[in-house]
């Protein structure tokens, strides 16, 4: 083993020497090229609500009723200053589209920005346009905001640390409608010698002769090294979709070596900017290019060479240390097991001892809930002063299977209404997931707690929960590259953060599938009272099954009653009870009496009827989650709900009745024992 290690070290050292010999090939220009964006590289950072869409497209915002804000930035700083003070020229080309599901409304649009911010705090996004606190930006504005002196709702503006543009241009005069939904090519060029910035727009190649916007401005007076570049967008409650499809950037600067540390982000790809040689790539690999220059100074070459020597030395020792660490781990036999599909997508591997200590050795007093995967503990990490939720598996093969399912699914998902996965651990036969801690616990506990125990959920909070849950289901069903059917939507799996925003969790039963395929499961899994009739009968889970469960949750939120409750010797089904009131024209009487009438009657009526339409026994009568969100946003008319609840006839009789299911105990419906599995083999 020692001989092998020496050979490996020698080989790496020779590669290092070879790299030093190529110092002369390093050019003074840097650039990158993204024909598309994929999960296979790591040189962009997604912030806020932004996420990867299908076909290598980045969506900056999602469909939500509250303001959706997102950004994508190049993960490495761009040094736009030549030592000591000369500012560099640059050019960038990108394709984008702005589309609105409701043509009568419009969001804010999107912006290309440069920002000197270098900390996660300064990079926090804010509306409108989701720009950082300090920026130089070219905005593609689709909203007329009188506060900022906007000329119209279709303009290009040049902004510096303010949304009030220093100068604007009209793309309509050039035949471009920013809100058309068509793919638009944008060229932004900055000439440092002339201190001029120009913006060109077109639906196709070649580049136009006349710019949409031309500004005389010295960027060196408002930026400093390092500079981060990217795109941001916001919707301010409108269902506007902002997409970046491709992006290239070229600048005459030395290569950057420091990586931006993202905050609350998904990171995609890992290749830093490099000025050595030229790179080519396809399929969104983010190729790095270095066009040749006419001349470079010897002094600069020496500086670059010295930088490469220092950087190469550091890289050599880092690689040597990593190899040594791997050697030691292998010599000890290793502690972690590997899953069949691996677990490299997860953010962090926690040490078992660390989680055991943080939960006081999984003490019962730290238990905060139970789910399909296992028991959830509150964890205090003394070293960092942070709190997290640790989900611990059962000791079974099924537990491991569910663990793999939850890990593989949620690690690739990003939405503000999803519980964020922070890490994992698989040691000593234990399977554990680490999530951000939700201080207000689960929705069911908040919804059904006695008034003297804590505050009652207000009507505004209940509406926020209905909208947030609809938004995340739109994302799972329609905005993921592969559709996700959760299969266990219920109040116990909806957590509330400090601001009472809903967060959907517990993906142990979720299934991934292609958009053009219908999933068929031979095992019905989920929680009784939330399961759609066709799912119970045939074991076939679809997005419409989730819609049914969402409808039940909405009725719970509006009525303050569980899906199935025992009243004396009878079991009362919430859907049938509300539908009965609706048939008598008294649906508003289903409102939670504990609210004491403190709600908007029309909103309550809308929510109750929306819940019934989603919980329609007939799948064809249920709306899609996108339609649900549009109704909640008042962007689509409500669905007409029949006075009489539809009935379904199956080819074979359902083997269980509600009475059969719950006759022995009511604990079946408690959050601690909420998973029922019924085989129809």
Active site residues: 488
Cα–Cα distance measured from residue 505 to residue 443, given in angstroms and rounded to the nearest whole number: 11
Cα–Cα distance measured from residue 253 to residue 83, given in angstroms and rounded to the nearest whole number: 10
- To 5 degrees, how large is the angle CA 148–CA 152–CA 157? 60
Q: For residues 115-125, b (16+ Cβ closer than 10 Å) or e, as one string?
A: bbbbeeeebbb
* 633-636-642-645 Cα dihedral, nearest 10 degrees: -50
**Could you tell me which of 599, 611, 266 has the C-alpha nearest to residue 411?**
266
User: Exposure of 551 by Cβ count < 10 A (0-12 exposed, 13-18 middle, 19+ buried)?
Assistant: buried
Helix 543-559 vs helix 625-632: crossing angle, to nearest 10: 30
Strand, helix or coil for residue 88: coil
Cα–Cα distances in Å, from 3 out to 11, 14, 316, 333, 609?
12, 17, 19, 19, 74
- CB atoms under 10 Å from CB of 220, counted, come to 15
- DSSP line for 347-365: S-B--HHHHHHHTTTT-GG
285 within 8 A of 37, measured Cβ to Cβ = no
Cα–Cα distance measured from residue 571 to residue 549, given in angstroms and rounded to the nearest whole number: 19
Strand, helix or coil for residue 532: coil
Cα–Cα distance measured from residue 547 to residue 448, given in angstroms and rounded to the nearest whole number: 23
Q: What's the count of helices (H) and strands (E) in the chain, helices before strands?
A: 12, 32
Cα–Cα distance measured from residue 418 to residue 430, given in angstroms and rounded to the nearest whole number: 24
Helix 298-331 vs helix 2-20: crossing angle, to nearest 10: 170
42: DSSP letter: E
Beta-carbon contacts of 163 under 8 Å, excluding residues fewer than 6 positions away, are: 128, 129, 131, 139, 145, 147, 148
Cα–Cα distance measured from residue 668 to residue 665, given in angstroms and rounded to the nearest whole number: 6
Which ranges of 475-542 would DSSP assign to H, the alpha helix?
533-538
Cα–Cα distances in Å, from 610 out to 471, 505, 574, 591?
15, 23, 14, 14
Q: Is 391 annotated as a binding residue?
A: yes
Beta-carbon contacts of 494 under 8 Å, excluding residues fewer than 6 positions away, are: 442, 443, 444, 465, 469, 502, 503, 504, 505, 553
126 within 8 A of 69, measured Cβ to Cβ = yes
Strand, helix or coil for residue 378: strand
**Could you tell me which of 416, 542, 536 has the C-alpha nearest to residue 486?**
542
Cα–Cα distance measured from residue 491 to residue 466, given in angstroms and rounded to the nearest whole number: 11
- DSSP line for 575-642: HHHHHHHHHTT-GGGGS-GGGTT-S-HHHHHHHHHHHHHHT-SSGGGSPPHHHHHHHHTTSSPPPPPP
Cα–Cα distance measured from residue 225 to residue 220, given in angstroms and rounded to the nearest whole number: 10
Q: Give the residue ranges of the annotated binding site.
A: 391
Q: Give the residue ranges of the annotated binding site for ATP.
A: 391
């Amino acid at each position: 083993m020692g001989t092998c290690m020496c050979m490996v070290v020698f080989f790496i050292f020779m590669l290092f020497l070879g790299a030093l010999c190529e110092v002369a090939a390093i050019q003074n220009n840097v650039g990158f090229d993204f024909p598309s964006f994929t999960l296979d590289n790591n040189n962009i950072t997604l912030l806020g609500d932004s996420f990867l869409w299908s076909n290598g497209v980045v969506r900056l915002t999602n469909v939500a009723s509250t303001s959706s804000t997102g950004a994508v930035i190049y993960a490495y700083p761009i040094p736009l200053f030549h030592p000591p003070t000369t500012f560099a020229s640059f050019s960038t080309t990108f394709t984008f589209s702005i589309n609105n599901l409701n043509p009568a409304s419009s969001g804010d649009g999107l912006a290309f920005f440069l920002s000197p911010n270098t900390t996660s705090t300064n990079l926090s996004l804010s509306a409108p346009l989701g720009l950082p606190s300090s920026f130089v930006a070219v905005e593609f504005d689709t909203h007329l905001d009188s506060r900022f002196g906007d000329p119209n709702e279709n303009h290009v503006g040049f902004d510096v640390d303010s949304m009030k543009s220093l100068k604007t241009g009209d793309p309509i005069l050039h035949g471009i409608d920013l809100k058309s939904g068509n793919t638009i090519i944008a060229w932004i060029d900055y000439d440092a010698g002339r201190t001029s910035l120009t913006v060109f727009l077109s639906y196709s190649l070649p580049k136009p002769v006349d710019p949409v916007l031309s500004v005389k401005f010295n960027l060196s007076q408002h930026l400093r090294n390092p500079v981060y570049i990217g795109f941001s967008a916001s919707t301010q409650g409108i269902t506007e979709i902002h997409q970046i499809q491709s992006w290239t950037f070229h600048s005459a600067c030395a290569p950057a070596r420091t990586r931006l540390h993202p905050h609350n982000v998904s990171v995609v790809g890992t290749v830093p900017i490099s000025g050595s040689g030229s790179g080519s790539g396809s399929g969104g690999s983010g190729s790095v290019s270095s066009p040749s220059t006419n001349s470079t100074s010897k002094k600069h070459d020496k500086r670059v060479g010295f930088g490469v020597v220092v950087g190469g030395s550091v890289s050599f020792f880092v690689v040597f240390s990593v190899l040594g660490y791997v050697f030691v781990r292998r010599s000890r036999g290793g502690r972690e097991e590997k899953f069949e599909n691996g677990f490299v997508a997860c953010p962090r591997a926690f040490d078992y001892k660390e989680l055991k200590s943080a939960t006081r050795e999984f003490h019962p007093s730290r238990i905060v809930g139970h789910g399909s995967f296992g028991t959830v503990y509150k964890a205090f990490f003394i070293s960092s002063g942070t709190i997290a939720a640790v989900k611990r598996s059962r000791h079974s093969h099924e537990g491991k299977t569910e663990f793999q399912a939850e890990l593989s699914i949620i690690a690739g998902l990003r939405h503000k209404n999803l519980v964020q996965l922070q890490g994992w651990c698989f040691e000593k036969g234990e399977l554990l997931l680490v999530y951000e801690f939700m201080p207000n616990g689960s929705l069911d506990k908040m919804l059904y707690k006695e008034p003297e125990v804590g505050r009652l959920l207000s009507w505004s909070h209940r509406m926020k929960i209905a909208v947030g849950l609809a938004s995340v289901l739109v994302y799972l069903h329609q905005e993921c590259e592969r559709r996700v059917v959760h299969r266990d939507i219920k109040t116990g799996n909806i957590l509330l953060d400090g601001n009472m925003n809903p967060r959907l969790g517990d993906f142990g039963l979720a299934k991934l599938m292609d958009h053009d395929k219908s999933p068929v499961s031979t095992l019905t899994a989920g929680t009784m009272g939330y399961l759609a009739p066709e799912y119970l009968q045939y074991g076939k889970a679809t997005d419409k099954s989730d819609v049914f469960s969402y409808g039940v949750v909405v009725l719970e939120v509006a009525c303050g009653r569980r899906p199935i409750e025992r009243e004396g010797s009878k079991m009362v089904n919430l859907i049938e009870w509300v539908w009965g009131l609706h048939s008598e024209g008294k649906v508003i009487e289903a409102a939670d009496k504990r609210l004491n009438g403190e709600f908007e009657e029309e909103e309550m009526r809308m929510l109750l009827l929306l819940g019934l339409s989603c919980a329609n026994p007939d799948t064809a009568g249920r709306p899609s989650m996108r339609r649900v969100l549009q109704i909640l946003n008042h962007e689509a008319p409500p669905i007409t709900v029949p006075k009489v609840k539809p009935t379904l006839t199956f080819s074979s009789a359902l083997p269980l009745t509600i009475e059969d299911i719950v006759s022995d105990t009511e604990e079946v419906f408690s959050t601690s024992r909420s998973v029922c599995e019924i085989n129809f083999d």
